[in-house]
Amino acid sequence: MPLIELEGVAKDFVVHRSAGLLRRDRITVQAVRDLTFSVERGTILGYIGPNGAGKSTTVKMLTGILVPTAGRVSVGGLVPWDERIALARRIGVMFGQRVQLWWDLPLVDSLELLRHMYRVPADRYRHTLASLREALELDPFIRTPVRQLSLGQRIRGELAAAMLHDPEILFLDEPTIGLDVVAKQRVREFLIRANRERGVTVMLTTHDLADIERLCSRILIIDHGRLIYDGDVNALKERYGTERVLVVDLEEPQGPLEVEGGRVIKVEGPRQWIAFERARTNAAQLAAAVATRANLRDLTVEEPEIDDVVRRIYLETRP
Amino acid sequence: MGLDTLRLDWELARRGYARYAAYPAATIAGVFVNTVFGFMRAFILLALFEQRDHIAGYDASATVTYVWLGQALIMTIYIFGWQDLALRIRSGDIAGDLIRPVHPLRASLAFDLGRALYHAIYRGLPPLLVGALVFRLVLPADPLEWLAFVISVGLAIVVSYGFRAIYNIVAFWTTDHRGAMFLGAVAVNLFSGFIVPVAFFPDWLAALAHATPFPSMVQLPIDIFIGRATGGEVLGTLAVQLVWAVVLLVIAERLFAFGVRRLVVQGG
Amino acid sequence: MAELRESLSLYRLLIAARVRAQLQYRTSFAIETVAAFLVSFLDFVAILVIFSNVPQLGTWSVAQVALLYALATLSFAFTDLVIGHLDGFPALIRDGNFDLMLVRPKGTLFQVITGDFQLRRLGRVAQALLVLGYALNTLAIDWTPDRALVLALTVPSGVLIYGSVWVAVICIAFWTVEGREAANAFTYGGAFLAQYPMNIFDRWLRRFLGYFVPMAFIAYFPALHVLGKTDPLGLPAVLQVASPVVALAAAVVASTVWRFAVRHYQSAGG
């Protein structure tokens, strides 16, 4: 039986928009429509889509924060909003931009309090904490009040808090947002280890394509509240993520360059954007071609943005 | 001081007004609370007049008028405390203010005057009108008394600003500016005549209060309104307020200069 | 029962951790405690000044009003100590942090109440105890077992009443964030009203803040019983011993309102 199941799930919000001092208009917004999918145990699932697509709403329905307007949800055999407390013991949740730890307390105190809240037996707590301290390198700052931690340290602390009671499922909302490259890598490695060694199922929302490439065995893409892609990362990249953009800075502004295998999509003074298909050519060949036609000062390669990928899928799947 | 500086003061005052005008719902809620408290305070003090017709020269109407004027002044002079300047000092934003062509205290005073005008109109007048509808209030008969009252409230705002600035400036030296704010608010509440008229105090406490700037923030404008100060006394009252306004602003300016020197020497 | 014991021991740990953290900043703590003491003292100074002009206030003597004041302030001070941080609840809702409470294995109300604990609020408790000492010392109370029992139950009942009012009114925040300041009329306004004899207030104010929002049961009615004083309002004597029952009823109403509000939050979402 799948660990997570959704069937025909919809969520409407009623928003009040102020129209004048005391008058308000009621507007119904459909955040999620007819969502059906299931997730097997042991998956690392990337749940992606542009802002406002319905990602957070879905995660909130799976964790018991919101009740859907229609449809059926089952997480670990439980109905999240009806069996909220039983579910809470079996899941770990981390919202990258929210502080779950007690702001004014040292990290170690927060973890100790959570142990009691989640009724983790003392010996198992000691064991889990020891492995989390090692994996997340918590020791240098474990006695520091949370408000004094850097973002990267705090995220590691939050991950430890989410893992303390050995959850079966980890829900992560933008876990790497705002982190530097090293910190991002550390978080990803930790998640991979937790998945391999403890069999934790992970569902994460992210804007970071690298998160998806390095972590996810399966991805779901949602846009305007509908599921528009369900499959693995490679298939997605092969189909939609094959276009790269080479950005070149020239010594002097000039008209759009004509180079084999690329087409100029934008010109801004001495800077030009050249799109190319990875299957047909590569950045080095393209750069060499540019160098024969103009004096090159600098160049960078832009990875496709997740929003671009989504837009392309959306255009293709639209009826 | 050129016209440019006055023009800048005016712009700052307009911003101060606009900033608070942006939250009408908060204003309505605040008026509601100030009005409910106004009723409670009026009934408490009216109970004194079941036994006596006059207390320290106040009759029942004058006392009720005193209560509603006090409620109207709560936000106008920030009786319960203010920490905007302390927060700017703590956050280090004050360093940015220092490089502007106008003195930070002057800019902050201009902003506060605009803010106070908004609060006088929208947080002050509504409870006063409710009070006037339900109770019989004493109103000045002479237009000159109204004028004197308006000037007196203006001076009260400046005096209160001077005092608020002083307890905010301590943020240069200590992280505990909140404690200083609470202590400052306690002094204002007690000695300004906000919680009970200064005339009701035992003589020694009244004498003590009158030796401080606090009555200039609440009691003196009310005295003018309810006619306790008349004729030449009105001018004397305004003069007292003016002196305190100048004294407190000068102290605030000196303290601020010390604070800035400390900031420059030791770093933020 | 085991559930309750577990919650209480978790709360004890939370308080201990907080107190440890707050005592790290001793000067801050000392100054803010003294400030809380003085702010609270202001209300009593007003009462003293009033009585320096008249011997009685609505048939109540200064020591009798001091008893009212002390009982009301003590109840308020303990409530403030435990849930004073609920003033920040609208911000918690606005920033979406209430979500975090729904993904933890504990009741939401428990988590909100245990969300903070500011030791400096003890300043107010100390001030109320001082006035209580003065009142009991000055009043020649003819102690009987029932009077002692009523007095002993007054403050716990008062805490429950204030706490219930506080929780019920902050539920407004689930619908609108601006409601918070208006709610002060009930919480802080009610606390102010309860410090004075109910009979000096106008009828509609008494009915609304005294009986509907049951502030009269915080100090006025029990004090009448303890003092053996005739009710100037001439209301039934049974009201004078009804505070614990009213408090339990208030708690039931508040928790019902809370549950309704949380269900609204879950179906509306933020």
Give the span between the Cα atoms of B16 and B18, in whole angstroms.
6
Q: Is B203 on the interface with C (CB under 8 A)?
A: no
Q: How close does chain C come to A32, measured CA to CA in Å?
A: 13
**What is the distance in angstroms between the CA of the first residue and the CA of the last residue of chain B?**
30
Give the span between the Cα atoms of B136 and B154, in whole angstroms.
26
Give chains near C: 3+ CB pairs under 8 A. Answer: A, B
CB C216 within 8 A of CB C68: no
Which residue in chain B has the smallest CA separation from C194? B40
CB B166 within 8 A of CB B251: yes
Q: Is C48 on the interface with B (CB under 8 A)?
A: no
Q: Is C17 on the interface with A (CB under 8 A)?
A: yes
A98 → closest Cβ in C97, C102, C107:
C97
Q: How far is CA A318 from CA A8, A160, A225, A237, A312, in A?
A: 20, 42, 14, 19, 10
Judge whether residue A12 has pLDDT over 60.
yes
Q: Using an 8 Å CB-CB cutoff, list chain A residues near C85.
A: none
Q: Is A57 on the interface with C (CB under 8 A)?
A: yes
- Give helix B125-134 / helix B24-46 axis angle, nearest 10°: 40
Question: CB–CB of A67 and C266 under 8 A?
Answer: yes
pLDDT at position C146 is: 96
Give the span between the Cα atoms of A257 and A271, in whole angstroms.
11
The mean of the pLDDT values for chain A is 87
Q: Is A66 on the interface with C (CB under 8 A)?
A: yes
Percentage of chain C modeled with pLDDT above 70: 99
Q: Is C106 on the interface with A (CB under 8 A)?
A: yes
Q: pLDDT band for position C255 (50/70/90)?
A: very high
Give chains near A: 3+ CB pairs under 8 A. Answer: C
pLDDT (tens digit per residue) in B100-129: 888 999 999 999 999 999 999 999 999 999
Which residue in chain A has the smallest CA separation from C105? A85
pLDDT at position B204 is: 96
Which residue in chain A has the smallest CA separation from C176? A16
Q: Is A60 on the interface with C (CB under 8 A)?
A: yes
pLDDT at position C242 is: 97
Would you report the helix, strand and coil content of chain A in percent, each value rounded to 5? 35, 30, 35
Q: pLDDT band for position A35 (50/70/90)?
A: very high
- Phi/psi-derived region of residue A246, left when phi > 0, alpha when psi is between -120 and 50, beta in every other case: beta
C103 → closest Cβ in A31, A64, A99:
A64
Q: How close does chain C come to A211, measured CA to CA in Å?
A: 24
C17 → closest Cβ in A81, A109, A119:
A109
CB A33 within 8 A of CB A2: no
pLDDT at position B154 is: 97
Give C 10-29 residues with CB within 8 A of chain B.
27-28
Indicate the range of A30-34, B12-16, B96-100, B191-195 predicted with least confidence.
B96-100
pLDDT at position B112 is: 97
Question: CB–CB of C56 and B51 under 8 A?
Answer: yes
Query: Alpha-carbon Rg of chain B, whole angstroms?
Result: 19
Q: Using an 8 Å CB-CB cutoff, list chain A residues near C17.
A: 102, 105, 109, 112-113
pLDDT at position B78 is: 95
Q: Using an 8 Å CB-CB cutoff, list chain C residues near A99.
A: 97
Q: Is C173 on the interface with B (CB under 8 A)?
A: no
Judge whether residue C79 has pLDDT over 80.
yes
Give C 215-234 residues with CB within 8 A of chain A.
none
Residue B153 neighbours by CB under 8 Å, 6+ apart: B73, B76, B120, B221
Q: How close does chain C come to A280, measured CA to CA in Å?
A: 47
pLDDT at position A20 is: 61
CB A109 within 8 A of CB C18: no
Which residue in chain C has the smallest CA separation from B24? C178
Give the span between the Cα atoms of B191 and C42, in whole angstroms.
11
Q: Is C31 on the interface with A (CB under 8 A)?
A: no
A60 → closest Cβ in C97, C106, C269:
C269
Question: Which of A2-16, A116-130, B208-222 is predicted most confidently?
Answer: B208-222
- For chain A, the structural domain boundaries read 4-238, 242-303
Interface test with C, best of A69, A79, A83, A84 (most C CBs within 10 A): A84
Question: CB–CB of A64 and C269 under 8 A?
Answer: no
Q: Tell me, which fold does domain A242-303 have in CATH?
A: Alpha-Beta Plaits (3.30.70)
Q: Is C97 on the interface with A (CB under 8 A)?
A: yes
pLDDT (tens digit per residue) in A152-192: 899 999 999 999 999 999 999 888 888 888 888 888 999 99
Q: Is B47 on the interface with C (CB under 8 A)?
A: yes
Q: Which amino acid is at C53?
A: N
Question: CB–CB of C269 and A65 under 8 A?
Answer: yes
pLDDT (tens digit per residue) in C121-130: 899 999 999 9
Question: CB–CB of C100 and A88 under 8 A?
Answer: no
Identify the residue with better confidence: C87 or B71: B71
> What's the CATH architecture for A4-238?
3-Layer(aba) Sandwich (3.40)
Q: Is B43 on the interface with C (CB under 8 A)?
A: yes
pLDDT (tens digit per residue) in C203-242: 999 999 999 999 999 999 999 999 999 999 999 999 999 9
Percentage of chain A modeled with pLDDT above 90: 45
Give A 105-134 residues with CB within 8 A of chain C.
105-106, 109, 112-113, 116-119
Indicate the range of A13-27, B4-18, B83-97 predicted with least confidence.
A13-27
Question: CB–CB of C179 and B186 under 8 A?
Answer: no
ipTM for the whole complex: 0.92
Residue A280 neighbours by CB under 8 Å, 6+ apart: A261
Q: Using an 8 Å CB-CB cutoff, list chain B residues near C202.
A: 39, 43
Give the span between the Cα atoms of C22 and A141, in whole angstroms.
19
Identify the residue with better confidence: A133 or B231: A133
Q: Is C193 on the interface with B (CB under 8 A)?
A: yes
pLDDT at position B143 is: 93
- For chain C, the structural domain boundaries read 2-268
Question: CB–CB of A113 and C269 under 8 A?
Answer: no
- For chain B, the structural domain boundaries read 3-266
Q: Using an 8 Å CB-CB cutoff, list chain C residues near A93.
A: 100, 103
Q: Is A273 on the interface with C (CB under 8 A)?
A: no
The mean of the pLDDT values for chain B is 93
pLDDT at position B1 is: 55
Q: How close does chain C come to A60, measured CA to CA in Å?
A: 8
Q: Using an 8 Å CB-CB cutoff, list chain B residues near C43.
A: 195
pLDDT at position A311 is: 67
Give C 81-110 residues with CB within 8 A of chain B.
none
Q: pLDDT band for position C148 (50/70/90)?
A: very high
Closest to B155 measured CA to CA, from B236, B251, B263: B236
Indicate the range of A95-109, B10-24, C72-86, C160-174 predicted with least confidence.
A95-109
**What is the distance in angstroms between the CA of the first residue and the CA of the last residue of chain C?**
34
Q: How far is CA A229 from CA A168, A204, A219, A239, C175, in A?
A: 25, 16, 8, 12, 36
Q: Using an 8 Å CB-CB cutoff, list chain A residues near C269.
A: 11, 13, 31, 57, 60, 65-66
- The token duo for C86 is 């609920």
**β-bridge pairing A169-173 and A91-95:** parallel
Closest to C158 measured CA to CA, from C246, C63, C252: C246
pLDDT at position C206 is: 94
Average pLDDT over residues C68-82: 96
C105 → closest Cβ in A57, A112, A117:
A117
Give the span between the Cα atoms of A77 and A94, in whole angstroms.
21
How many CB atoms are located within 10 Å of the residue A156 CB? 24
- Name the strands in the sheet holding A44-48, side by side, starting at the edge strand that comes first in the sequence: A91-95, A169-173, A201-205, A44-48, A218-223, A226-231
A4-238 and A242-303: identical CATH topology: no
pLDDT at position C167 is: 94
Q: pLDDT band for position B268 (50/70/90)?
A: very low
Q: Is C178 on the interface with A (CB under 8 A)?
A: no
Percentage of chain C modeled with pLDDT above 90: 69
Give the span between the Cα atoms of A265 and A256, in whole angstroms.
9
Which residue in chain C has the smallest CA separation from B25? C178
pLDDT (tens digit per residue) in A216-272: 989 999 988 889 889 887 777 777 666 778 888 988 888 888 888 888 888 888 898
pLDDT (tens digit per residue) in C9-67: 999 999 998 888 888 888 888 888 898 899 889 999 999 999 999 999 999 999 999 99
Percentage of chain B modeled with pLDDT above 90: 80
Interface test with C, best of B20, B28, B31, B33 (most C CBs within 10 A): B33
Q: Using an 8 Å CB-CB cutoff, list chain C residues near B29.
A: 178-182
Collapsing DSSP states into helix, strand and coil, what is residue C139?
coil
pLDDT (tens digit per residue) in B19-58: 999 888 889 999 999 999 999 999 999 999 998 999 999 9
